[in-house]
Amino acid sequence: MTEPYTPTEIMTVVAARALRNDDVCFVGIGAPSAACNLARLTHAPGITLIYESGTIDTRPEVLPLSIGDGELCETALTTVSVPEMFRYWLQGGRVTVGFLGGAQIDRFANLNTTVVGAYDNPKVRLPGGGGAPEIAVHCGEIFITMAMSRRGFVAKLPFVTSLGHGTGKGSREALGVCTKGPTRLITDLCVLEPDQETSEMSVVSLHPGVTRDQLRENCGWDLRFVAVPEETPPPTEEELAVLRELHDRTRRAHGGEDA
């Protein structure tokens, strides 16, 4: 019998389920990478994973530490230059899904990975955008994975690094952006999707055992719900086994304890 899953595991599993076998996916490091590779190892073996360093159709045995991890290049079908990756593949509209995370997010799924506090005198200076701002506007749609907390889910971002739905419905189009933007926000507590009328992210599914009050306690804005939110199907034994083995291989490869 598989041990009970953790909040991070259900977030990763639910994110993986959102991917399709024929997707071309631009993958972020961390939780997005775990979700994308779980999808590849389970229901979507034909998925094409692309990383920012230029690796195309990479099939890593372990999760990469960074976009420059040799594991990505060694297991890729081919590797192209970064300019070609962005200009031909990304800006050329050849990527169906971008998978992103962030330090902070607002109700319209705009992301901040730049600073917390004033830009010229921040409380915390974050890693920055990297390729995320380009991914956010040029991929066909965006999936976001983030653990839910008041520190991360804020009413107003101090800095918008990657565009979500701007200030609401029509904002992307007004800027000349033609892609869908964030269509799914997967957290450790629930799943949110943009409201059809306002583009505000609204709860469509609560994970097993999670209450509405718990969600409100971990969100910095007045959280909206669809009329009848569903309950997220829990991870299957197969999904958990594959995910845990992937993490175990990664720890062993990087010199950690054998879990």
Q: What are the residue numbers of the active site?
A: 52
Amino acid at 64: P
* Distance, CA of 170 to CA of 3 (rounded, Å): 45
Reported in sequence order, the residue ranges of the chain that DSSP labels E, i.e. its strands, are 24-27, 48-51, 55-56, 78-79, 97-100, 104-105, 111-112, 115-118, 121-125, 141-145, 182-186, 190-194, 201-206, 224-231
- Cβ–Cβ under 8 Å, residues 183 and 49: no
User: Which ranges constitute the DSSP H helices of 119-224?
Assistant: 132-138, 171-174, 212-217
Q: Cβ–Cβ contacts within 10 Å for residue 67, how many?
A: 18
Structure tokens at 181: 């933007």
* Distance, CA of 11 to CA of 23 (rounded, Å): 20
